[in-house]
């Protein structure tokens, strides 16, 4: 093999190793959220009526808009990786900025939603009031709602941080088509955070809307 | 390894948005207790689309696919075993 061929093979192996490592880490993340999802299933089986009632108190409009925002952020992220891999680094940088902007939009809307939840007295640790026989189960629903969405937001904040680091690296010209592995790995993490929300949305907002 | 075409990515995003509209719309139609089943099924399709296209499992090596599958497998084992405990207790 010639020297450039050896260098190219090394780069390909680096990409493969980084991708594999990230997927192994993502598997642990799936298990972390899996525990919360199982807690949700077990509690919902015990209090089906309370979950139906409580779920109607979540903000469906903001929840749905946020789902669209996050799905769109994943498109921007995927296109950013594609652009950088195809040597359109400048386009890639703008797409990463769009990804961060959409991630921040999600957080802002979620915060607005939390304020609504607080005003409606739905926060178990602060002011939970639910004048109904199903109070106990409804409170458990909102415990799960805040813990699950809270854990998701922490992950999203980390994702926004990572994408910002990638942007500074592009700025310093340390990422280009030949060394796209860190960006690809960051994208995998971002998409997983999106997938977790894909499951949170129907389980928290759409339990009983008929 | 060439990345997927622009059309594939945009098409996937359109499919995700249609599925979002579908899951929202179906929630307002009484399906005799099957609303949750429909919602979870749609979520599974959406998650698969993101994993296969955006996370590039479509073009990944067998080893990477295996690692991705392992996460889901362990989750199913975890939930399956916990369920047996739950069902015996109550």
Q: Which of A45, A64, A78 sits opposite B24 (nearest CB)?
A: A64
* Gap from B13 CA to chain A (nearest CA, Å): 6
Put simply, the answer to whether B3 touches A82 (Cβ < 8 Å) is yes
Does B73 have pLDDT greater than 80?
yes
The pLDDT of residue A177 is 66
Interface test with B, best of A11, A75, A86, A185 (most B CBs within 10 A): A75
What band does A5 get if pLDDT is binned at 50, 70 and 90?
confident
Enclosing H/E stretch for B21:
helix B6-26
User: Of A62-66, A83-87, B2-6, B73-77, where does mean pLDDT reach its minimum?
Assistant: B2-6
- Chain A environment of B20 (Cβ under 8 Å): 64, 67-68, 71
Q: Which domain holds residue A184?
A: 3-205
Does A143 have pLDDT greater than 80?
yes
The residue among B90, B87, B61, B57 whose CA lies nearest residue B72 is B57
User: Global pTM?
Assistant: 0.94
Question: Does B16 lie in the same domain as B27?
Answer: yes
The pLDDT of residue A58 is 94
Please list, in sequence order, all residues whose beta carbon lies within 8 angstroms of the beta carbon of residue B90, skipping any fewer than 6 positions away: A46
Q: Predicted ipTM?
A: 0.94
Q: Chain-wide mean pLDDT for chain A?
A: 93
Residue A210 lies in a domain: no
Question: Does B86 lie in the same domain as B46?
Answer: no
Question: Does B47 lie in the same domain as B19?
Answer: yes
Q: Based on the structure, what is the number of domains in chain B?
A: 2
Per-residue pLDDT tens over the stretch A36-59: 999 999 999 999 999 999 999 999
Higher pLDDT, A137 or B19: B19
CATH of the domain at A7: 1.20.120.80
Put simply, the answer to whether A30 touches B70 (Cβ < 8 Å) is no
Put simply, the answer to whether B64 touches A210 (Cβ < 8 Å) is no
Q: What is the mean pLDDT of residues A84-98?
A: 94
* Gap from B75 CA to chain A (nearest CA, Å): 6
* Gap from A81 CA to chain B (nearest CA, Å): 9
Q: Chain-wide mean pLDDT for chain B?
A: 92
The residue among A136, A153, A123 whose CA lies nearest residue A49 is A136
The pLDDT of residue A10 is 83
The pLDDT of residue A127 is 85
Residue A32 lies in a domain: yes
Token pair 């500074």 is found at A168
Token pair 């075993």 is found at B81
Can you tell me whether residue B90 is helix, strand or coil? coil
The pLDDT of residue A166 is 94
Q: Which domain holds residue B86?
A: 61-90
What band does B90 get if pLDDT is binned at 50, 70 and 90?
low
Question: Does B50 lie in the same domain as B65?
Answer: no
User: Of A112-116, A172-176, B21-25, B68-72, where does mean pLDDT reach its minimum?
Assistant: A172-176
Q: Are A163 and A100 in contact (CB under 8 A)?
A: yes
Question: Does B65 lie in the same domain as B50?
Answer: no
Residue A14 lies in a domain: yes
Question: Does B66 lie in the same domain as B53?
Answer: no
Does B1 have pLDDT greater than 80?
no
Does A8 have pLDDT greater than 90?
no
Q: Based on the structure, what is the number of domains in chain A?
A: 1
Question: Does B32 lie in the same domain as B76?
Answer: no
Question: Does B72 lie in the same domain as B44?
Answer: no
Question: Does B11 lie in the same domain as B28?
Answer: yes
Q: Which of A24, A85, A210 sits opposite B29 (nearest CB)?
A: A210
């Amino acid at each position: 093999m010639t020297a450039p061929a050896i260098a190219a093979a090394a780069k390909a192996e680096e990409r493969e190793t980084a991708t594999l490592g990230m997927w192994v880490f993502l598997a642990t993340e799936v298990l972390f959220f899996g525990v919360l999802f199982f807690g949700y299933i077990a509690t919902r089986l015990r209090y089906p009526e309370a979950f139906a009632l409580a779920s109607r108190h979540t903000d469906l409009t903001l929840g749905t808009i946020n789902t669209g925002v996050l799905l769109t952020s994943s498109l921007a992220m995927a296109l950013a990786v594609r652009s950088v891999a195809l040597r359109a680094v400048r386009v890639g940088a703008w797409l990463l900025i769009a990804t961060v902007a959409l991630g921040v939009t999600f957080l802002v809307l979620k915060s607005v939603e939390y304020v609504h939840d607080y005003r409606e007295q739905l926060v178990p640790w602060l002011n939970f009031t639910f004048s109904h026989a199903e109070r106990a189960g409804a409170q458990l629903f909102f415990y799960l709602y805040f813990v699950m969405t809270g854990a998701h937001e922490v992950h999203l904040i980390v994702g926004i941080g990572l994408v910002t680091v990638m942007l500074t690296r592009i700025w310093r010209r340390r990422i280009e088509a030949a060394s796209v592995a860190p960006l690809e790995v960051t994208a995998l993490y971002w998409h997983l955070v999106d997938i977790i929300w894909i499951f949170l949305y129907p389980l928290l907002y759409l339990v009983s809307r008929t | 390894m060439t990345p997927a075409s622009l059309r594939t990515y945009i098409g996937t995003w359109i499919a995700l948005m249609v599925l979002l509209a579908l899951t929202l719309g179906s929630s307002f139609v009484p399906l005799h207790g099957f609303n949750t089943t429909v919602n979870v099924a749609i979520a599974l399709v959406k998650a698969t689309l993101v994993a296969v296209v955006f996370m590039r499992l479509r073009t990944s090596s067998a080893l990477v696919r295996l690692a991705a599958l392992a996460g889901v497998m362990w989750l199913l084992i975890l939930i399956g075993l916990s369920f047996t405990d739950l069902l015996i207790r109550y």
